[in-house]
Structure formats: C-alpha cells, structure tokens
A and B are shown apart, each in its own frame.
Chain A
Amino acid sequence: MSQLYFNDVTYQCGEHETVLDALTRQGVSIPSSCRNGVCQTCMMQSVDANVPGAAQNGLKPTLQAQNYFLACVCHPTEDMTVSLPDNTDRLLSATVTAVRQLNDEIKCVGLDCPTLEGYHAGQFINLYQDSECARSYSLASVPTDGYLRLHVRRLPDGRVSNWIHDELKIGDSVQISIPVGSCFYLPDAPQQPLLLIGTGSGLAPLIGIARDALNQRHTGDIYLYHGSHDVAGLYLVDELREMAEHYSNFHYVPCVSGDDVTPQYQAGRAVEVALAAHPDLTGWRVFLCGNPNMVKTARKKAYLAKAAMNDIYADAFLVAGAK
C-alpha cells in the first residue's frame, strides 16, 4: 500500500492498483482512454524521480527525464507526489537586462531570474504582461549563460508582443513561469546527426539546442536550416556563420523562399532545402520550431524520410487569438 499526493490531498493506492485506478476509485477525474499504456491520454508527472520504469514505456526520453508517466500502468513502489501536466505553472520574478533589435520585427529580450533552478535549452517560458495575460516564448539561451534570452516577434495585433516591443525596457520587473516543454537536447547519443529546421523566431530554441549540444561535446554533425521569405526576415546570420567556422561539426544554412535570389543564401523553403540535402534521416534526431504549418509539414516529411517518431521533436509557435 502506498500513498498518492495529488492537489494537496492524500489518496491510498492498493497493492495491485494503478495510479489511475486508485485516483478514479476515490473520485478524482483523470483523462484516460485505452487503460493499457498505449494511448498516453492519462499522462501525469511525478515530482520525484521514483517512477517505475514500466510506467514510462513508450514515452520520449525528454518526458521520461521530467518524470512523466502513464497513470494506467503505474504501480507505485513507494509514495508518490503526482500532478496532471498542465499544473506545472509556477511564477518567478525576473528583471529585464537587455532589449536589442535583431531585425525589423524581432527583438531579443534578456532576463535575469535568480530564483530559477535550472532548465534545458530549447524549453519555453510564459511571460506575463499582467496577472491574466501571458504568452509563450522559447529560450534562446543555454543554462551556462547565467541569464535567459528570448526572441520576440512583433505580431500585427499581438497584445503582449507589442507591449514588449514598445514599452518593455531594461530594469523592468516581469513575472515568468518555470521553463517547460520537451523539445530539447539530450546527451544520450553524442555521435547522432542532428537536423534543426526553423522559421522566423523559431530560430530561438534551435540556437539554444545547437549551443547546448556543442557545449556537451556532441560529436555528430549538427545542421541548422533557418528559413524566411526574404533576407530581411533572417537574423543573427553573421553570428551563426562564425559559429559554423568555429565548430567543424556545426553547419548553418540560411534559406530564402521568396523571389530575390541572393548569393550565400539557399533558395527555397527551409524544409525542402533540408530534406533535399538529407533525403534519408534513418538514425537522425530532428528538431522543428516555428510556424505551425511548417512544423506539421516538416514532421511528416521527416518521418517519411525515415526519422523515428521518438527522434522528432517539434515546437509549433501557435498564435493566441487577437483580442
């Protein structure tokens, strides 16, 4: 018999009971479907790393690393403190340390958050304009930077992005959530080739992931394809070219999909340029960030090019409905 702590209430879990059965029996509503550890509808998270291995069967390594598990096949071996995945929002105070224009529509925002305990490059935070209005922004920094960095694109009717672009200044205090998301680098296969494809400010998490991999001495090739309609939509081009000169296994390919063909830029959409160069992705790990349609197309193409499903990490930048 073990105990389950869920939303500040203690529940009993019988000898042969699963977490899902125990909570459901005691009146807690947990979404579930197949009840066989297959469909992942009942995914929950444990505060501690005491999740039985069988309850993580089939989950991505990044989710396993964050103690996610499937409640329907989880037989606790000791007491567990558990939550549903969206209960992880906890707010931290941060100070704006830098605001810098990256191109016409994207600004880099630096944040100092001393109470933040750790994160994975490539995760995202929610930045709060006030107590009710927040937007998600990916982290372009790596943990060793000592500060957080975001790339914020100004959206035409974007309430928070316009506030950030027009009003946020160095020294301001803001509230952020703890970093979340499972699109990040894991040092479990240092020789594995990595393919990173992003559009617009989808470059932010990819820079973090590439730098994190290089810091952790990744030896396999790392290809970064950044796409935009025109050259003006790209940014940090010189910095990334320098990085590619410095690291022999890092390759940077800026892509322009519009009509103006320019030397030193690949013509075409980033996804198509990348897949034409790497038609067989067997054994690769793929990271996709940016426009949701691009992410959807790229995910499918990468999978059809034989990347394994568990090796495709995606972060679609959804735009909140304008109000």
Chain B
Amino acid sequence: MSANLYEKIGGEAAVNAAVDVFYRRVLGDDRISDFFDDVDMERQAAKQKAFLTMAFGGPVHYTGADMRKGHAHLVARGLNDSHFDAVVENLVASLQELNVPAELIAEVGAVCESTRNDVLGK
C-alpha cells in the first residue's frame, strides 16, 4: 500500500518539490524552528528529504530504533507532542500548497502518525 502511495503522489519529483516548501515553513515557524536550525543547512535539508521520502511511502526505511536514536537528542531538549503536531501541520499545509489530493495527504499523515511514539521516545 505504501509503495502505491509513493507512486500516486509522484515519487522523487514530488519529494523534490515538497522539500523546499516544507523546510522553509518549519524554519519560519517559531514553535519548532530551533529544532531544525542546524549549522549545516544542507545536511538538514537532506534529512528532510529523507523524511519526506519516508512519509510518502518511498524507498527510505527507518526502523523504530533508528527513529528513537535519531531524535533522542531532541527529546532531551524538550521535543514533545505539540512540536510533533506542528511538524505534521506544516507538512499538511505544504502538500495543500502543492495541490496534493486530500486523501493522499491523509495517507501521509497516517505514515507520520505511526512514527510518533518512536520519535518522541515514548
């Protein structure tokens, strides 16, 4: 089903289109920008690209353990549900801006939701 989502949403071209819109939104969102404000913006953007590929059901696979390890330093800095919600909100708004159909956005949201507990180290 998720491979299907990646195809329907437009594959790598869709990721490339979405990453700029999405990353600009989170950097401009005072609620969460600190978590994304890396010294190395390119590395940070590459991470966002990997994240979007995953959220779109594409060929990047993170295990629950990867997610926990990758976000532990952010959880230590106070990352919580409100920040997670804000990221999803920005992703949804980005996809709406790019005219992605609502049912596909809902599927992307479900993929994100499935990672919540691992990301937040619960």
Task: Spell out A's residues near B (CB within 8 Å).
Answer: 34, 36, 38-40, 58, 292, 296, 299-300, 303-304, 306, 308-309, 312
Contact = CB atoms under 8 A, between A and B. Distances in A.
Contact of A309 (B41, B47, B50, B60): B41
A306 B21 CA distance: 9
A38 B27 CA distance: 20
A312 to B, nearest CB: 8
B43 interface: yes
A252 B47 CA distance: 36
Given A34-B60, A309-B20, A39 B28 contact: no
Given A38-B53, A58-B46, 19 more contacts: A34-B60, A38-B49, A38-B50, A38-B60, A39-B43, A39-B50, A40-B42, A40-B43, A296-B39, A299-B41, A300-B37, A300-B41, A303-B23, A304-B28, A309-B20, A309-B41, A309-B42, A309-B45, A312-B41
Contact of B24 (A39, A58, A304): A304
A308 B17 CA distance: 11
Given A303-B24, A309-B20, A36 B60 contact: yes
Nearest to A310: B42
Nearest to A34: B50
B101 interface: no
Contacts of B47: 39
A303 B27 contact: yes
A300 to B, nearest CB: 6
B10 interface: no
Given A38-B60, A309-B20, A300 B27 contact: yes
Interface residues of B, number: 18
A40 B46 contact: yes
Contacts of B27: 300, 303-304
Contacts of B37: 300
Interface in B29-49: 37, 39, 41-43, 45-47, 49
A299 B82 CA distance: 27
Contacts of B78: none
A303 B53 contact: no
Interface string B53-68: 1000001100000000
9 closest Cβ pairs, A-B complex: A38-B50, A39-B46, A309-B45, A40-B46, A34-B50, A38-B49, A299-B41, A304-B28, A36-B60
Contact of B59 (A36, A58, A309): A36
A58 B45 CA distance: 11
Interface in B1-28: 20, 23-24, 27-28
Contacts of B46: 38-40, 58
Nearest to A302: B41
Contacts of B28: 304
Contacts of B45: 309
B48 to A, nearest CB: 10
A58 B20 CA distance: 13
Contacts of B41: 299-300, 303, 309, 312
Contacts of B49: 38
Nearest to B15: A38
Contacts of A40: 42-43, 46
A294 to B, nearest CB: 13
6 contacts: A36-B59, A39-B50, A58-B46, A292-B39, A296-B39, A304-B27
Contacts of A34: 50, 60
B59 to A, nearest CB: 6
Nearest to B33: A300
Contacts of B60: 34, 36, 38
B50 A308 contact: no
Contacts of A38: 46, 49-50, 53, 60
